[in-house]
Amino acid sequence: MDQISDTKNTDEGWADNITISEAMKKLNSREKMIISKRFFDGRTQMEVADEIGISQAQVSRLEKSAIDRIRKMYQ
């Protein structure tokens, strides 16, 4: 009764982290880098493009492809 609940480290949160980690392992190195920079580092597609030396359109295509692959893994 007198315990403070931990809303950050729930069973569901742990499961989500494991699922994301497993999905990331199945991406190629460029896809991993883009997904990581975009969603974990909070960078824009333009920032990622400038950083790795490709166009924003290429970042967008690679990001979409990686997300589609992840979705297919878990359908």
pLDDT one-digit tens code per residue, 22-57: 888 999 999 999 999 999 999 999 999 999 999 999
Per-residue pLDDT, 12: 67
In the chain, domain spans: 28-73
Q: What is the pTM of this model?
A: 0.74
- Give the architecture (CATH level 2) of 28-73: Orthogonal Bundle (1.10)
Q: How far is CA 65 from CA 13, 14, 51, 52, 69, in A?
A: 25, 26, 20, 17, 6
CB-CB contact of 4 with 39 (8 Å): no
Distance between CA atoms of 38 and 30, rounded to whole angstroms? 12
CA angle centred on 10, ends 6 and 23, rounded to 5°: 140
- Phi/psi at 5 (5° precision): -75, 150
